[in-house]
A and B are shown apart, each in its own frame.
Chain A
Amino acid sequence: MSVPATEQAPAAASDKPLLSLRGIQKSFGAVHVLRGVDLDVRPGQVTALVGDNGAGKSTLIKGIAGIHAFDEGEYTFDGKPVKVHGPKDANDLGIEVVYQDLALCDNLDVVDNMFLGRELGSKIRLDDTTMELKARETLDGLSVRTLKSVRTHVSSLSGGQRQTVAIARAVLWNSRVVILDEPTAALGVAQTEQVLLLVRRLADRGLGVVLISHNLNDVFEVADDIAVLYLGQLVAQVRKDEVTRGEVVELITTGASEKHGNTNGEVR
Chain B
Amino acid sequence: MSTTTTPPAEEQQTDLGGIVRAYLAKVRGGDVGSLPAVLGLVALVIVFSILRPDTFTTELNFANLIGQSAAVMVLAMGLIFVLLLGEIDLSAGFTGGACAAVLGLTLTEHDWPLIPALIAGILTGTVIGFFIGTLVARVGIPSFVVTLALFLALQGVMLQIIGDGGTIGIRNDFIIKLNNGSMPIWLGWLLAAITIVGYAGGRLLTMRGRRARGLVAEPMLLWALKSAGFAIIIVAVVGYLSRERSPNPALKSLKGVPNVVVIILVLVVVLGYLLSRTSWGKHVYAVGGNAEAARRSGINVPWVKISCFMACSTIAALAGFLAASRTNSVSPNTGGSDTLLLAVGAAVIGGTSLFGGKGRITDAVIGGLVVAVIRNGIILLDQPSSVYYMVTGAVLLLAASVDAISRRRATASGRA
Contacts and interface: CB of A to CB of B under 8 A. Distances in A.
Contact of B294 (A88, A105, A190): A105
A150 to B, nearest CB: 8
B7 interface: yes
Nearest to A87: B298
A108 B289 contact: yes
Interface string A121-154: 0011110110011000000000001111101010
Interface string B1-23: 11101111011000000000000
A155 B410 contact: yes
Interface in B263-303: 277-280, 282-283, 285-286, 288-290, 292-299
A153 B296 contact: no
A111 B277 CA distance: 14
A157 interface: yes
B157 to A, nearest CB: 35
Interface stretch (A17-25, A112-120, A200-208): A112-120
A156 interface: yes
A157 B1 CA distance: 9
Contacts of B209: 129
A67 B209 CA distance: 38
Contact of B297 (A101, A118, A149, A191): A118
A217 B6 CA distance: 28
Interface stretch (A37-45, A69-77, A158-166, A252-260): A158-166
A3 B38 CA distance: 72
Nearest to B293: A103
A193 interface: yes
Interface stretch (B179-187, B210-218, B250-258): B210-218
A146 B3 CA distance: 9
A99 interface: yes
Nearest to B292: A103
A145 B6 contact: yes
A91 interface: yes
Interface in B290-332: 290, 292-299
B277 A103 contact: no
B7 A155 contact: no
Contacts of B282: 108, 112, 116, 119, 126
B415 interface: yes
B365 to A, nearest CB: 22
A14 B136 CA distance: 51
Contact of A164 (B1, B298, B410, B414): B1
A156 B280 CA distance: 24
Contacts of B1: 146, 158, 160-161, 164, 190-191, 194
Contacts of A151: 216
B414 A105 contact: no
Contact of B416 (A103, A106, A112, A126): A106
A240 B377 CA distance: 77
B296 A67 contact: yes
Which among A65, A105, A106, A190 has the greatest number of chain B C-beta atoms within 10 A? A105
B278 A108 contact: no
Given A107-B285, A129-B215, A117 B294 contact: yes
A93 B160 CA distance: 56
A261 interface: no
Interface string A37-64: 0000000000000000000000000000
Interface residues of B, number: 42
B358 interface: yes
B67 interface: no
A156 B414 contact: yes
B8 A148 contact: yes
B357 A116 contact: no
Contacts of A148: 7-8, 10-11
Contacts of A105: 285-286, 289-290, 293-294, 357
Contacts of A99: 296
A190 B3 contact: yes
Nearest to A65: B296
Given A87-B298, A99-B296, A108 B286 contact: yes
B289 A107 contact: yes
Contacts of A155: 410-411, 414-416
A176 to B, nearest CB: 17
A115 to B, nearest CB: 8
A248 interface: no
Interface string B377-398: 0000000000000000000000
11 contacts: A65-B296, A87-B296, A87-B298, A105-B285, A105-B357, A108-B289, A153-B416, A157-B414, A160-B1, A161-B1, A164-B1
Across the A-B interface, the 6 shortest Cβ-Cβ residue pairs: A156-B414, A117-B297, A107-B289, A105-B289, A107-B357, A160-B1
Given A107-B289, A125-B277, A155-B415, 17 more contacts: A87-B296, A87-B297, A87-B298, A99-B296, A103-B297, A105-B289, A116-B293, A117-B299, A129-B209, A133-B214, A145-B5, A148-B8, A148-B11, A149-B10, A149-B216, A191-B1, A193-B3
Interface of B: 1-3, 5-8, 10-11, 209-210, 213-216, 277-280, 282-283, 285-286, 288-290, 292-299, 357-358, 410-411, 413-416
